[in-house]
Amino acid sequence: MLTAAAAMPAAGFSQQKRPLKNGPIVLSTWDAGLEANIPAWAVLEKGGQALDAVEQGVRHTEDSINCCVGLGANPDRDGRVTLDACIMDHNHNCGSVAFLERIKHPISVARRVMEKTPHVMLVGEGAQQFALAEGFSLEPDKLSAAAQSAYADWLQQSQYKSPTINRENRNDHGPFAPTRLQNGEWNHDTIGMLAMDSQGNLSASCTTSGAGFKMRGRVGDSPIIGAGLFVDNQVGACVATGQGEDVIRVAGASTVVELIRHGRTPQQACAAVIQRIIQIKKERAKDIQVAFIALSNQREIGSYAIHPGFSFAYKDAQRNELIKAQSWFK
């Protein structure tokens, strides 16, 4: 039985881990965030803008061949890697790409959409055409070795249906949870990053290959402003990871930010939106993983997940460390 009382977080990160009173902060999802925080921090420590930091940070992860982000990631069920990304700054400027193929850095294309077009979102062939016109290279149409092998395994069963989170048949928490590759690297679906710069301005980025072996054309929450990511410089910023369909259903990231606006701490706000998803999904909540991380403009941080196993990477001038998120299921 899922009760409201069971959803209440014991203690917020704002109590457990107080950020430094001043100076920039970077938060990013999953273990891969520890590495991604470093190029982001290189921008911030020189007095750079949060927007540049969140772009540089997740570009690092997009470059990684051993990550379910970028072109090294698992393909859709037709064997094609399709990428989603978005970015948002402290002035409500935002840009997004979805269903983008053969372009190495979707996050940078999303930024160009934001800065060079009157639009917020470009998808598919149009997004690729725009990227090429902006000077991005068309990468080879081939899978990484890890993705080839995972796809070959998947084809053996070839369950030609929309992705269902299945804890028993896949890994602990479905295709959106990290899995350990043979070489020991962690494999993640999404990296989301939040940063505050030395001016106190917030920005956020998010980039993913989405669900492994998804239906062709499937787009998750990650490129959808308000679902996968949201920034309001007067309030805070939030980014989501996990089962995108269930994040979209509750307009996840913007709902977290709205709850912060109305007085919740980031920790309480993340927990409340996870609780909302659980109330919608009922018993099916045990089969999905969703997590949020949030940063308020008062420098409080928070995170909450449906299942244990989600961590986020926190960086300030003193430390770069992985923090285990609290979760509904223990």
Shortest Cβ 113–ligand GLY spacing (Å):
18
The residue annotated as part of the active site, out of 190, 207, 208, 265, is 190
| The only residue of 9, 19, 212, 220 in contact with ligand GLY, by rule CB under 6 A | 220
| Residue nearer to ligand GLY on the CB measure, 44 or 88 | 88
Considering the rule CB under 6 A, would residue 244 count as an interface residue with ligand GLY?
yes
Shortest Cβ 247–ligand GLY spacing (Å):
6
Shortest Cβ 1–ligand GLY spacing (Å):
28
Q: Give residue 190's identity as a one-letter amino acid code.
A: T
Considering the rule CB under 6 A, would residue 64 count as an interface residue with ligand GLY?
no
| Residue nearer to ligand GLY on the CB measure, 128 or 222 | 222
From the list 106-114, 179-187, 197-205, 208-216, the region that binds ligand GLY by CB under 6 A is: 208-216
How far lies 185's CA from each of 31, 36, 60, 179, in Å?
Answer: 10, 15, 15, 9
For residue 116, how far is the Cα from the chain centroid? 24
Considering the rule CB under 6 A, would residue 57 count as an interface residue with ligand GLY?
no
Q: Give residue 52's identity as a one-letter amino acid code.
A: D
| The only residue of 44, 211, 224, 306 in contact with ligand GLY, by rule CB under 6 A | 211
Number of residues that bind ligand GLY (CB under 6 A): 12
Instruction: Mark out the alpha helices in the chain (DSSP H runs).
Output: 4-7, 13-16, 32-44, 50-63, 106-116, 124-133, 145-157, 244-249, 252-261, 266-281
Give CA–CA dist 149/204, Å, rounded.
Answer: 33
Considering the rule CB under 6 A, would residue 242 count as an interface residue with ligand GLY?
yes
CA angle 321, 319, 259 (to 5 degrees): 65
Shortest Cβ 242–ligand GLY spacing (Å):
6
Shortest Cβ 229–ligand GLY spacing (Å):
10
| The only residue of 241, 267, 289, 297 in contact with ligand GLY, by rule CB under 6 A | 241
Q: In what order do the strands lie in the sheet containing 290-296?
A: 229-232, 236-242, 290-296, 301-305, 326-327
From the list 49-57, 137-145, 236-244, 263-271, the region that binds ligand GLY by CB under 6 A is: 236-244
190 catalytic? Reply is yes
Q: Which long-range contacts (CB under 8 A, 24 or more apart) does 47-51 make?
A: 47/197, 47/198, 48/197, 49/197, 49/199, 49/201, 49/203, 50/24, 50/89, 50/90, 50/195, 50/196, 50/197, 50/201, 50/202, 50/203, 51/87, 51/89, 51/90, 51/111, 51/203
From the list 96-104, 111-119, 216-224, 274-282, the region that binds ligand GLY by CB under 6 A is: 216-224
Shortest Cβ 163–ligand GLY spacing (Å):
9
Give CA–CA dist 56/267, Å, rounded.
Answer: 26
Give CA–CA dist 206/211, Å, rounded.
Answer: 14
From the list 49-57, 121-129, 241-249, 299-307, the region that binds ligand GLY by CB under 6 A is: 241-249
Q: Is beta strand 121-123 parallel, antiparallel or unpaired with respect to 94-100?
A: parallel
Considering the rule CB under 6 A, would residue 208 count as an interface residue with ligand GLY?
yes
Sign of CA dihedral 122, 126, 132, 134: negative
Shortest Cβ 206–ligand GLY spacing (Å):
8
Considering the rule CB under 6 A, would residue 106 count as an interface residue with ligand GLY?
no
Considering the rule CB under 6 A, would residue 189 count as an interface residue with ligand GLY?
yes
**Residues designated as active site:** 190
By the criterion CB under 6 A, which residues form the site for ligand GLY? 189-190, 208, 210-211, 220-222, 241-244
